[in-house]
Amino acid sequence: MILRQLFDEDTWTYTYLLADEESKEAVLIDSVLEQLERDLTLIKELGLKLKYTLDTHVHADHITASGPLRERTGCQTGISEKGNVACIDLHLKGGDILSLGSKNLKVLATPGHTPGCISFVCENMVFTGDSLFIRGCGRTDFQNGDSGQLYDGIVNELYTLPDETLVYPGHDYRGQMVSTIGEEKAFNPRLNLGREGFITFMNELDIPNPKKLNESVPANLACGHVAS
């Protein structure tokens, strides 16, 4: 597989370009509107055909490029069926399988940060969005988040993957790029509090809202099209 981990410095967002080497079919996971031209240039340079642009959830901190990417490349857009995004092509749920040439991308339901959070598994990699971070996890204090649901999704879905599975998160704020399921099971301080301890910890967090919250959510419900 071809893998490129791309970074948006303004929002600390990782975008992932994943492609099958033989067919050149590709997917972008968690695109950022301001990085549209960067991503399209890379896709062209690598000789890839963008088949999907997928979002792990309705983001509150950046605007997706899914709609503009569909217009420019003819790819299909996808997000969780629980995201309530009417303009997408693929309303995904846990257990769904998407093909990239001879490779498969499996959808895992990992709600809690939002009700519609999903993760994507391909070979020995999992792309966890804002569900599981490196030594952390996404917040649960708005967008109908649920701390217990997030804990259950991580433990029952992500932590059942093989320990050597590479974890690629949607964000990192400390300069870390990749982890493994085994590492997170051993060292993730929030999850290692146990379910009740995790819920208490998450419910007591006091952190400011994302600076782009008010513009990001409406735009993402419109596949990245910003109202004029």
Predicted pLDDT at 123: 97
- Give the pLDDT of residue 212: 85
pLDDT number for residue 211: 87
What angle (nearest 5°) sits at the alpha carbon of residue 186, between those of residues 180 and 187?
A: 85
> What sign does the dihedral 192-139-150-18 (CA atoms) show?
negative
Q: What does the pLDDT read at residue 227?
A: 67
Domains, in order of start, for the chain: 2-208 (3.60.15.10)
105 in Cβ contact with 71 (< 8 Å): no
DSSP state of 136: E
Q: What pLDDT is stored for residue 228 in this prediction?
A: 58
pLDDT number for residue 182: 98
State residue 19's pLDDT score: 98
Cβ(181)–Cβ(191) below 8 Å: no
pLDDT value at position 83? 94
Q: Closest Cα to residue 149, out of 188, 106, 199? A: 199
Q: How many helices (H) and strands (E) does the chain have?
A: 6, 14
pLDDT tens, the chain, 228 aa long: 999 999 999 999 999 999 999 999 999 999 999 999 999 999 999 999 999 999 999 999 999 999 999 999 999 999 999 999 999 999 999 999 999 999 999 999 999 999 999 999 999 999 999 999 999 999 999 899 999 999 999 999 999 999 999 999 999 999 999 999 999 999 999 999 999 999 999 999 999 988 888 899 999 999 999 765
pLDDT digit string, tens, across residues 2-40: 999 999 999 999 999 999 999 999 999 999 999 999 999
Amino acid identity of 178?
Answer: V
